[in-house]
Amino acid sequence: MTMPATATASGPAPAPAGQPYFRAQDLHAYYGESYIVQGVSFAVNESEIVALLGRNGAGKTSTLRAIARAAQPELKSGEVWLAGQALHKMSAHQAARVGIQLVPEDRRIIAGITVEENLLLAQAAEPRGWAIERIYEHFPRLAERRRQEATTMSGGEQQMLAVARALARDIKLLLLDEPYEGLAPVIVQEIEKIVREIKRLGITTIIVEQNAVAALQLADRAVILDMGAVAFDGTAREVLENTRLRDEYLAI
């Protein structure tokens, strides 16, 4: 019998032969009576960045949350696989332990404690990811503010902390939900630089972003949702070069 791949702190476990590293298959999810995710299927290769795009209400954030096994939306049916592991059979806590790290739009920085305490709290339980000093090497602004109460920082700095906190865990798949939301252009450039570094380091990433052009310029591939279903799955360059596609689904 072939045993499923197991995630380890030393790096991503390989996907089974012939299978993509990550795969969402026919996801159906609801917020109460609202049918939000309507049969979404797509795959992501290891070390790839995929931009998950669409108009407001298309189901992007709900799809991310379903992948992360959040309580809402409720995943009624469908499968989510990461390196041979069945995430759809796990709780949110279990999915996080095998390497799914969601950076939500609201960041969820813990108030009343410092930047460094937020990072240390993320490492309170095994498996751990990057060491704190390694995080500071990649996020020098956080190093400067390590003793500052985290919620007193700017929105951009809090976004950096939210991403850094995810990296403090043993990460296999990073889910970024609207990382540029509400940030000044100069801060967006800093966050983009961080995401490019994440890509260089080979961390598999799915990014949801209303600034579609910025996301497409970072991504290898794009998946566009419309009314809770996949309307397009192809390269990021195809979307950037296809005016009709952008007009129809993205309004850019």
Query: Is 115 part of a structural domain of the chain?
Result: no
1-10, 76-85, 157-166, 196-205, range with the lowest pLDDT: 1-10
Query: Is 207 part of a structural domain of the chain?
Result: no
User: Tell me: the pLDDT tens digits for 81-91?
Assistant: 999 999 999 99
Q: Is 139 helix (H, G, I), strand (E, B) or coil?
A: coil
Query: Is 73 part of a structural domain of the chain?
Result: yes
Indicate the average pLDDT of the chain. Answer: 91
Q: The CATH number of the domain where 248 resides is what?
A: 3.40.50.300
Decide if pLDDT at 29 tops 70: yes
Query: Is 69 part of a structural domain of the chain?
Result: yes
Query: Is 52 part of a structural domain of the chain?
Result: yes
Q: Distance of CA 58 to CAs 18, 54, 87, 178, Å?
A: 31, 6, 23, 14
Query: Is 232 part of a structural domain of the chain?
Result: yes
Better-scored residue on pLDDT, 1 or 212: 212
Better-scored residue on pLDDT, 41 or 126: 41
Decide if pLDDT at 1 tops 70: no
Tell me, what's the pLDDT at 13? 60
Which structure tokens are listed for 69?
């096994």
Which structure tokens are listed for 148?
């500052």
User: Tell me: the pLDDT tens digits for 143-172?
Assistant: 999 999 999 999 999 999 999 999 999 999
| Listed residue (172, 236, 166) closest to 203, CA to CA | 172
pLDDT band at 189 (very low <50, low <70, confident <90, very high): confident
Mean pLDDT of 117-129: 92
User: CA-CA distance, 241 to 220, in Å (whole number)?
Assistant: 14
> What percentage of the chain has pLDDT greater than the value 70?
92
pLDDT band at 6 (very low <50, low <70, confident <90, very high): very low
Cis-peptide, bond into residue 140, ω within 30° of zero: no
Query: Is 196 part of a structural domain of the chain?
Result: no
- When divided into structural domains, the chain yields a total of 1
User: CA-CA distance, 112 to 136, in Å (whole number)?
Assistant: 21
| Full domain range(s) for residue 246 | 20-96+215-252
| Residue 15: φ, ψ to 5° | -75, 155
> 99 near 92, Cβ under 8 Å?
no
User: CA-CA distance, 179 to 193, in Å (whole number)?
Assistant: 12
> 153 near 161, Cβ under 8 Å?
yes
pTM for this structure?
0.90
Query: Is 204 part of a structural domain of the chain?
Result: no
